Structure 1
Amino acid sequence: MKNFISIIVPVYNGEANILKCVNSLLKQTYKNFEIILVNDGSNDRTLEILTPLVLEHSSLKLINKKNEGVSIARNVGLENASGQYITFMDSDDWVQGTYLEKVAETIEKYQSDCIYFNYYEEYNNSKSILVEDFKKVENYSKEKIRTKLIPLFIGGKEGLLMGSVWRGIYKSSILKEKVKFKKNINYMEDLIFNIAILKYAEKVTVSNIAPYYYFINESSVTGKYLDNMHSVSNQVLQELTSEINSSC
């Protein structure tokens, strides 16, 4: 049976949280899925932790590669994904046991190209805060995607949506044929990717389910000062402007 959902998990030095991440996926009530783990040149115990799991569970696929950054790692995952729909997960996050069941039900009901959902922010003290961007289920046609949804991702007058790819699931045909992550960008690459996808989507659903727990890691690239932040920001702005212009 063809996998209905592929979950791509890039991992770099994820020994602290990768087991919790993968176990939360293995405990899903929904079973028609595959997990693609892309080990991006980790030099800690990541590979040691993942290898026995892959041998034990047929739903797991492990790809080892040299360290090239999260964008290329995700692209490698895309090349190896067989699901009709594809989603992503960060290696220090986790999901509820009914995560894929809820997502699959939403896909079956609305037959959308993309679905976005709410999530929880989780902190080191185990405190979780619901981020409820979507109060109800709502469908966006091509015109509403352009005039309503894209402005929310880039910060319009009605608000701002976090553009991370783990809060969405996407029809694989769009990703494999038309959209990839920018290889030279590892900062705000999610937002650029989402804007590019929305350019091709005919129908998008936003849902008030919240099955995903996003771990707030202050030592991540978004929480640190970067010496080259000015040049990185300019590069991101150029890419984002290009995608917005072609979308709108």
Structure 2
Amino acid sequence: MASDTKPMVSIIVPVYNAAAYLRECLTSIAKQQGPKFEVIMVNDGSTDDSRLICEEWQARDARFRLLTVPNGGAGRARNIGVANAYGTYVTFFDADDAMEADYLQVLWKNLQEHQADIAIVNFYVYNEDQHLFQYYLTDQARQIFTLDGPTATMMQWNFQWNSSLFVVAMGKLAKRELYEQIPFPEGMMYEDDAVTHRQLMACQRVVVVNEEHWLYRVRPASVMTATVNQKRLQDLLRAFEIKMLDLALAGLDVGPCRDWFAVVGQQILAELKPTQRATWPEAQRLERMLNDHARLVASWSTKNE
């Protein structure tokens, strides 16, 4: 691609059976201001009208490109998008979410002004079941600040903040090479939970714009709200083990991650039926891990008495 036509940013959108939300998402992207950008829609084997909607956008706006691949999950779709990107910088976005008009501009401006390796913006939530918008921030919390990579990583368990903005793949802008060097794991759920800490740890400077610049939609059929099954539980355990090992190897405190997992693990066990707890190897492994954590906490308490 000629340098005068090359986009500065590639917006990569994995698409899987998101027809009900896709037009809203792509319309919000088309309205972005700031650096020159392209949009790579990776149709991940959708069986609804998602592909047709993507084809409509490809035909009407030269900035939009469609790649259609067999279903392989969001991690693989993001990696394929990166491999086909022309932009020097990349931001990921989910097909059921929506950008505020200044999303890209704010990310770009702060990345450049703070000479950061990655820029992050916060979000607000729309809960479909409750028909309710949810906001995390007060006016006093709206601020811009920088962190080094390890400190930004530990924010994943700082619950005084919306800690999930340091976990999800969306709401970030970084050089494409970061995602080429540290790709998303493929074939697993919670793929961002298993890798964003590595991406953050690789950064010298992270700039955080603690303002809501995109809408995150919570819907019944999403990965995060789906009923527990063996695959989901297996991948959650895998993501946790990857993260714990990486933190330990980097010399970071594993305690907050372990404590978070204990809370989530107990919630998952409570959802399982007795037959599932008795027959699923993943459930039995989770129970052993939680028992080990409880013994560890008890031993600490005894030593501190």
Q: What is the letter of the counterpart of residue 56 of structure 2?
A: P
- The percent identity for this pair of structures is 24
Q: What is the letter of the counterpart of residue 236 of structure 1?
A: A
Q: CA RMSD in A?
A: 2.0
Within the candidate set 54, 70, 76, 2:74 is matched to: 70
Q: Distance in 2 between matches of 1:82 and 1:235?
A: 32
Within the candidate set 130, 142, 150, 2:135 is matched to: 130
Which string of whole-angstrom CA distances, capped at 9 and with x for unpartnered residues, describes residues 186-240 of structure 1?
22x2122211112211111111232110011122121122320442332122222
The answer to whether the aligner puts 1:46 opposite 2:53 as a matched pair is no
Which residue number corresponds to residue 84 of structure 2? 80
How many residue pairs align between the two structures? Answer: 241
Q: What is the letter of the counterpart of residue 220 of structure 1?
A: S
Aligned-residue offset at 1:104: 1.5
Q: Distance in 1 between matches of 2:35 and 2:118?
A: 21
Partners of 1:185 and 1:236 within 8 A in 2 = no
The answer to whether the aligner puts 1:231 opposite 2:234 as a matched pair is yes
Q: Distance in 1 between matches of 2:25 and 2:160?
A: 33
3-state DSSP class of the match of 2:213?
strand
Partners of 1:118 and 1:132 within 8 A in 2 = no
Which residue number corresponds to residue 199 of structure 1? 201
3-state DSSP class of the match of 1:192?
coil
Higher relative contact order (CA 8 A, sep 6+): 1
Partners of 2:90 and 2:176 within 8 A in 1 = yes
Partners of 2:11 and 2:91 within 8 A in 1 = yes
Q: Distance in 2 between matches of 1:30 and 1:231?
A: 41
Q: What is the letter of the counterpart of residue 174 of structure 2?
A: Y
Mind listing any 5+ residue stretches in structure 2 that lack a counterpart?
252-305
Which residue number corresponds to residue 175 of structure 2? 171
4-13 or 231-240: bigger deviation: 231-240
Q: What is the letter of the counterpart of residue 168 of structure 2?
A: S
Q: Distance in 2 between matches of 1:127 and 1:160?
A: 18
Q: Distance in 2 between matches of 1:40 and 1:66?
A: 6
Aligned-residue offset at 1:38: 0.2
Which residue number corresponds to residue 214 of structure 1? 216
The answer to whether the aligner puts 1:120 opposite 2:127 as a matched pair is no
Partners of 1:119 and 1:132 within 8 A in 2 = no
TM-score, normalised via structure 1 length: 0.89
The structure whose residues are more often strand, as a share, is 1
3-state DSSP class of the match of 1:165?
coil
The answer to whether the aligner puts 1:90 opposite 2:94 as a matched pair is yes
Q: Distance in 2 between matches of 1:18 and 1:158?
A: 32
The answer to whether the aligner puts 1:242 opposite 2:230 as a matched pair is no
Mind listing any 5+ residue stretches in structure 1 that lack a counterpart?
none
Partners of 2:42 and 2:66 within 8 A in 1 = yes
Partners of 1:119 and 1:210 within 8 A in 2 = yes
Which residue number corresponds to residue 183 of structure 1? 186
Partners of 2:16 and 2:44 within 8 A in 1 = yes
Partners of 1:87 and 1:169 within 8 A in 2 = yes
Aligned-residue offset at 1:158: 6.0
Which string of whole-angstrom CA distances, capped at 9 and with x for unpartnered residues, describes residues 49-69 of structure 1?
111210121110100000111
CA pair 83-247 structure 1, distance change in 2 beyond 3 A: farther
The answer to whether the aligner puts 1:29 opposite 2:33 as a matched pair is yes
Which string of whole-angstrom CA distances, capped at 9 and with x for unpartnered residues, describes residues 92-133 of structure 1?
100111221222211221121111111110123653222339
Aligned-residue offset at 1:159: 5.8
Partners of 2:189 and 2:235 within 8 A in 1 = no
Aligned-residue offset at 1:44: 0.9
Partners of 1:122 and 1:129 within 8 A in 2 = yes
CA pair 158-99 structure 1, distance change in 2 beyond 3 A: closer
Which structure has the bigger radius of gyration? 2
